[in-house]
Amino acid sequence: MHISEGVLSGGALLTGWACSGVGIAVGLKKTEPEKIVRTALISSAFFLASLVNVKVGASSTHLAFLAPMGLALGWGIFPAVFTALILQAFLLQFGGLLVLGANTFIMSSAGLAAYLLFGKIISRAKNRVMIFTFAFIAGAFAVILGAFLVGVFLTMSERNFLTTAKIILLAHIPLAIIEGVVTGFMITWLRKISPEFLEIS
């Protein structure tokens, strides 16, 4: 889901930085000092998730935890993703510094959308099956939305990227299912064991 350095045009880069700048500013303002440890930990988990390879047929991909991040942090997802992506760019050479704005916006807004759309439904759901179902949909939706936004940024830079964007979207479907299952189990467990950990509660 990381866009590489040099791919995006000036306009797309500017759009990415402007959108993520607003998100980071709002996220930092909404993150209270006592929640900064939680934000850092989830940021660390996001970094570590990129090291976990998931076999999909002959190829492999990695988890992103976009929906769990959104459901646990709300708007705080923007600074969390931003710091994790800085570390990924330096240590793992994923993405880059100039495209950091676009990558932050893509991943954070996918997680934030999952929080805004499914947060209240998950917090009101009473039984475990309902929580799992909505968390599964939130997890899968966040991945698909992220892949769609990657496509939007690529097509914004160069119209010929349309086929690449379609391939990226299709390639993320197996990951969306796996991420949905993991998100479902994770959120169901967290709602039961430590509901205060989630922003939705």
Partner 1 sequence: MNENIFTIHALPKLNAKYSLGDLDVRAKFAIAICYAISIAIAKTPGAFFLASVLPVALAFTLSNSSIRTLAKINLLNLFMIATMILTFPDFHKGFKAALILTLRLNFTCVVFAKFFETANYIPDAKFVPEKIRVLLILTIRGIFVIQDCLHSSILSVRMRARNLHGVLKWKVFAYVIASSILRSEARSEKMLLAIKMRGGFAGFEQVRELNWKFSDSVICVLSGIYVTGIFLA
Judged by CB under 8 A, which of 1, 144, 190, 200 binds partner 1? Answer: 190
**Shortest approach of partner 1 to residue 124 CB, angstroms?**
21
If you write DSSP's letter for every residue of 134-176 in order, what string do you get? HHHHHHHHHHHHHHHHHHHHHHHH-GGGHHHHHHHHHHHHHHH
Judged by CB under 8 A, which of 1, 13, 114, 140 binds partner 1? Answer: 13
Q: Name which of 101, 188, 104, 102 is nearest 138 in CA terms.
A: 188
Question: Given the rule CB under 8 A, which of 30-38, 102-110, 111-119, 121-129 is the region that contacts partner 1?
Answer: 30-38
DSSP 197: G
What stretches of 18-153 adopt beta strand conformation (E)? 53-56, 59-62
In this structure, which amino acid lies at residue 106?
A: I
170 binds partner 1 (CB under 8 A): no
197 binds partner 1 (CB under 8 A): yes
48 binds partner 1 (CB under 8 A): yes
59: exposed, middle or buried (Cβ count in 10 Å: 0-12, 13-18, 19+): exposed
40 binds partner 1 (CB under 8 A): yes
Residues 118-147 that bind partner 1 (CB under 8 A): none
* C-alpha–C-alpha distance, residues 160 and 17, integer Å: 23
10 binds partner 1 (CB under 8 A): yes
Judged by CB under 8 A, which of 43, 61, 103, 108 binds partner 1? Answer: 43
Other CB atoms within 10 A of residue 31 CB: 20
156 binds partner 1 (CB under 8 A): no
Residues lying near partner 1 in the complex (CB under 8 A) are found at 4-10, 13, 28, 31, 36-45, 47-49, 65, 79-80, 82-84, 86-87, 93, 96-98, 158, 160-161, 163-164, 167, 178, 181-186, 189-190, 193-194, 197
